[in-house]
C-alpha cells in the first residue's frame, strides 16, 4: 500500500515553483509543477478517501486499469458504432421512397455522390467530372466501389436504379469500415503524441528512440469528441486526417522521410493538412534544423506532385474541375462572408482576393510570433492556430472540416473549458447547417435565416476563443499545461529539447510567472 505524502496536498492545490532554463537566463521564465502527481478532481474533493486516497509520490501505476490503450480502443469502437447508428435513418431502401437527410440530421456525401455521379454504372472515377474530388479521396472511392463489386453488387451500365441504390448502400457500408480504420489511426497517433508520451525516452547514436512511446490519456479528447459523432461519416475526410496525424507521429519518432511521405499523401487528400507542413517549417527554421526539414518537405512535395500528376494524366478535365472548385469557387456556407452576402442580398466583389490576403497575412503573423516568443512553440500549437486561421478567414466552410482540428486541438491545448467552448460552437453549427439546407430554421414568413447566421457567428467566436488560448500558451510558455516536468514538445521529434536561440529578456516575466 502506498501512503500519500502530505506535502503533495499543496501541490494538488496548485503550488508551483520557478525554474530558469537556458543557462539561467532571465529572458525566459518557466513554471512547472514539482515531480509529484497532481490530484484529480475526485482527490481534491476528498471523494476517494474511503478507498485509500489518491496515489502517492512513489507509486508505480501499472496494469490494464492505468493503460489508456484498451480503454481508448473500446471507446472508439462504441463511438463509431453510435455514429453508424445515427446515420441509419438516412438509408434509403426503395428507390421510390425518398428520404430527407436534412430533416433527419444524417446527411452524407458518400451514397449521394455514388448515385448522382454515375459511379454505379462503372467507368473510371478519374474521368468522371461529376466526382471532382482530391486524388487520394478518388482512389479510396474507387477502392470502396471495387469492394462492392467483389461482394456481388451490380456495378455496370446495365444496372437499374434499384440496383444502383442497393450498391450505394453497400458502398456506404464499406466506406464506414474504411473510415473506422482511419479513425483508429487518429486515436492511436494522438495516444502516442499526447502529454507524457515522450517522458525520458532513450535514444541511440542516430538520435532515434530505442523504446516505444508512452500512451497518453489525452487521447480521450479525440475519442469522446461529439463532432466525430456528428461529422465522422459525412465524407472521406477522416482519411487525410489519419494521414496527417500519422505523419506527426512519424516526425515525433524522428523519421523525416516517412513523415514527409505521409504528409504528402495527406495533402493529396485535403489541402488543409498542409498546416502540419507549415508548422514543421516554422519550428525547424527557428531551431535551424534544416537537413531534417529538407528531407521532410522534399519527400512530401514529391509525393504530392506525383499524386496530382497521375490524376491530371488520367483526366485533365476532372483534375482541373477539382482545382477550380477548390480555389476559384464563390462564397459558400459557414463563413462570415456568407452572412454578409445573404443579409445584404448582393455579392461581395473580390471576395477571393480578400480572403486570400487575410489568410496569408494571418499565417505570416503566426510565423512572426513563432520566431519572437520566449520559447519555440510546439508543432501542434502552430498547426492548430494555422488551421483556425484558415477556418476563420476562408470563404467556404464545411462541417466535416472540424475533424482535422480535433486531434490538433487535443495536442495543442488539452484544456476542458476551452475544449467545451469549441465543441459547443462546432456542434451547434453542425446541427444548424442541415436545418438551414432543409429549410427548417427559417422563421415563419421570412427569408432571412437568422438562426443559421447566429450559428456561424457563434462558431467563429468559439474558434477565436480557442485560438487565443493557444496563442496565449505560445506567448507565455510557462503556463502551457503540456510543458511540465521538463517536457518540451512531444510532437517535436528532432526539435524536442533542441537548442533554442536565447530570446531578448522579457520584462516582468518573473513577476508574471509568480502570479
Residue 69 banded pLDDT, cuts 50, 70, 90 = confident
User: Is residue 348 one of the residues assigned to a domain?
Assistant: yes
Q: Is the pLDDT of residue 2 over 90?
A: no
Give me the mean pLDDT over the 177-204 stretch: 83
Instruction: Give the percent of the chain with pLDDT over 90.
Output: 52
Residue 217 banded pLDDT, cuts 50, 70, 90 = confident
Sign of the Cα torsion 115, 120, 124, 127 reads: negative
User: Is residue 510 one of the residues assigned to a domain?
Assistant: yes
Q: Is the pLDDT of residue 491 over 90?
A: no
Residue of 8, 14, 19 lying closest to 477 (CA atoms): 19
Residue of 376, 375, 377, 374 lying closest to 505 (CA atoms): 374
Q: Is the pLDDT of residue 245 over 90?
A: yes
User: Is residue 453 one of the residues assigned to a domain?
Assistant: yes
Distance from C-alpha of 175 to C-alpha of 481, rounded to nearest angstrom: 37
Task: Give the per-residue pLDDT at 443.
Answer: 72
Give me the mean pLDDT over the 227-239 stretch: 94
**Pair 108, 235: CB distance under 8 Å:** yes
User: Is residue 354 one of the residues assigned to a domain?
Assistant: yes
Of 133-142, 164-173, 328-337, 376-385, the least confident: 328-337
Of 77-81, 322-326, 456-460, the least confident: 322-326
Distance from C-alpha of 117 to C-alpha of 19, rounded to nearest angstrom: 61
**What's the domain range around 364?**
64-198+208-514
If one counts the domains in the chain, the total is 1
Q: What is the pLDDT of residues 83-128, one digit of tens each?
A: 999 999 989 999 888 888 998 889 999 999 998 888 888 888 888 8
Give me the mean pLDDT over the 180-206 stretch: 80
User: Is residue 54 one of the residues assigned to a domain?
Assistant: no
Distance from C-alpha of 131 to C-alpha of 258, rounded to nearest angstrom: 30
Q: Which is higher by pLDDT, 410 or 485?
A: 410
Q: Is the pLDDT of residue 469 over 90?
A: yes
Contacts of 31 (CB under 8 A, 6+ apart): 16, 17, 18, 19, 478, 479, 513
Task: Give the per-residue pLDDT at 34.
Answer: 38
Residue of 322, 105, 65, 19 lying closest to 217 (CA atoms): 65
User: Is residue 140 one of the residues assigned to a domain?
Assistant: yes
Task: Give the per-residue pLDDT at 9.
Answer: 44
Q: Is the pLDDT of residue 81 over 70?
A: yes
User: Is residue 19 one of the residues assigned to a domain?
Assistant: no
Task: Give the per-residue pLDDT at 363.
Answer: 96
Residue 29 banded pLDDT, cuts 50, 70, 90 = very low
Task: Give the per-residue pLDDT at 21.
Answer: 42
Give me the mean pLDDT over the 361-377 stretch: 93
Contacts of 132 (CB under 8 A, 6+ apart): 318, 321, 322, 325
Q: Which is higher by pLDDT, 503 or 348?
A: 348
Residue 223 banded pLDDT, cuts 50, 70, 90 = very high
User: Is residue 56 one of the residues assigned to a domain?
Assistant: no
Give me the mean pLDDT over the 141-170 stretch: 91
Mean pLDDT for all residues in the chain: 84
User: Reduced to 3 states, what is the DSSP secondary structure of residue 31?
Assistant: strand
Distance from C-alpha of 363 to C-alpha of 512, rounded to nearest angstrom: 28
Q: Is the pLDDT of residue 30 over 50?
A: no
Amino acid at each position: 500500500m502506498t501512503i500519500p505524502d502530505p506535502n503533495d496536498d499543496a501541490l494538488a492545490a496548485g503550488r508551483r515553483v520557478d525554474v530558469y532554463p537556458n543557462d539561467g537566463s532571465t529572458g525566459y521564465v518557466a513554471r512547472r509543477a514539482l515531480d509529484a502527481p497532481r490530484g484529480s478532481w475526485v482527490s481534491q474533493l476528498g471523494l476517494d478517501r474511503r478507498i485509500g486516497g489518491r496515489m502517492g509520490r512513489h507509486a508505480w501505476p501499472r496494469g490494464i486499469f492505468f493503460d489508456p490503450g484498451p480503454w481508448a480502443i473500446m471507446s472508439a469502437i462504441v463511438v463509431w458504432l453510435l455514429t453508424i447508428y445515427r446515420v441509419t435513418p438516412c438509408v434509403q431502401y426503395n428507390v421510390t421512397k425518398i428520404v430527407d437527410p436534412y430533416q433527419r440530421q444524417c446527411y452524407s456525401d458518400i451514397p449521394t455522390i455514388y448515385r448522382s455521379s454515375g459511379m454505379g454504372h462503372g467507368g473510371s472515377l478519374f474521368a468522371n467530372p461529376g466526382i471532382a474530388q482530391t486524388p487520394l479521396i478518388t482512389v479510396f472511392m474507387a477502392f470502396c466501389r471495387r469492394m462492392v463489386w467483389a461482394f456481388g453488387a451490380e456495378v455496370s451500365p446495365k444496372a437499374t436504379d434499384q440496383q444502383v441504390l442497393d450498391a450505394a448502400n453497400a458502398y456506404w457500408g464499406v466506406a464506414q469500415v474504411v473510415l473506422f480504420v482511419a479513425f483508429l489511426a487518429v486515436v492511436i497517433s494522438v495516444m502516442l503524441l499526447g502529454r507524457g508520451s515522450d517522458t525520458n525516452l532513450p535514444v541511440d547514436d542516430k538520435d532515434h528512440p530505442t523504446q516505444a512511446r508512452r500512451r497518453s490519456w489525452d487521447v480521450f479528447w479525440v475519442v469522446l469528441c461529439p463532432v466525430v459523432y456528428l461529422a465522422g461519416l459525412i465524407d472521406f475526410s477522416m482519411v487525410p486526417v489519419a494521414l496527417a496525424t500519422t505523419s506527426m507521429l512519424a516526425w515525433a519518432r524522428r523519421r523525416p522521410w516517412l513523415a514527409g511521405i505521409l504528409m504528402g499523401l495527406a495533402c493529396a487528400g485535403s489541402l488543409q493538412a498542409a498546416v502540419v507542413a507549415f508548422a514543421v517549417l516554422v519550428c525547424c527554421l527557428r531551431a535551424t534544423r534544416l537537413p531534417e526539414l529538407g528531407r521532410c518537405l522534399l519527400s512530401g512535395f514529391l509525393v504530392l506532385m506525383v499524386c496530382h500528376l497521375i490524376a491530371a494524366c488520367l483526366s485533365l478535365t476532372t483534375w482541373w474541375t477539382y482545382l477550380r472548385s477548390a480555389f476559384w469557387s464563390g462564397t459558400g456556407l459557414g463563413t462570415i462572408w456568407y452572412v454578409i452576402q445573404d443579409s445584404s442580398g448582393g455579392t461581395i466583389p473580390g471576395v477571393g482576393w480578400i480572403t486570400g490576403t487575410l489568410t496569408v497575412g494571418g499565417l505570416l503573423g503566426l510565423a512572426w510570433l513563432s520566431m519572437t516568443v520566449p520559447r519555440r512553440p510546439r508543432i501542434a500549437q502552430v498547426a492548430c492556430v494555422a488551421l483556425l486561421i484558415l477556418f476563420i478567414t476562408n470563404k467556404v466552410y464545411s462541417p466535416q472540416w472540424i475533424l482535422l482540428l480535433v486531434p490538433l486541438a487535443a495536442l495543442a491545448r488539452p484544456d476542458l473549458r476551452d475544449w467545451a467552448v469549441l465543441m459547443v460552437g462546432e456542434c451547434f453549427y453542425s446541427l444548424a447547417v442541415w436545418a438551414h439546407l432543409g429549410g427548417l430554421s427559417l422563421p415563419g414568413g421570412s427569408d432571412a435565416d437568422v438562426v443559421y447566421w447566429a450559428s456561424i457567428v457563434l462558431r467563429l467566436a468559439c474558434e477565436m476563443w480557442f485560438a487565443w488560448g493557444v496563442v496565449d500558451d505560445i506567448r507565455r510558455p510557462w503556463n502551457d499545461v503540456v510543458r511540465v516536468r521538463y517536457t518540451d514538445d512531444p510532437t517535436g521529434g528532432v526539435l524536442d529539447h533542441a537548442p533554442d536561440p536565447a530570446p531578448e529578456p522579457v520584462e516582468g516575466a518573473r513577476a508574471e510567472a509568480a502570479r
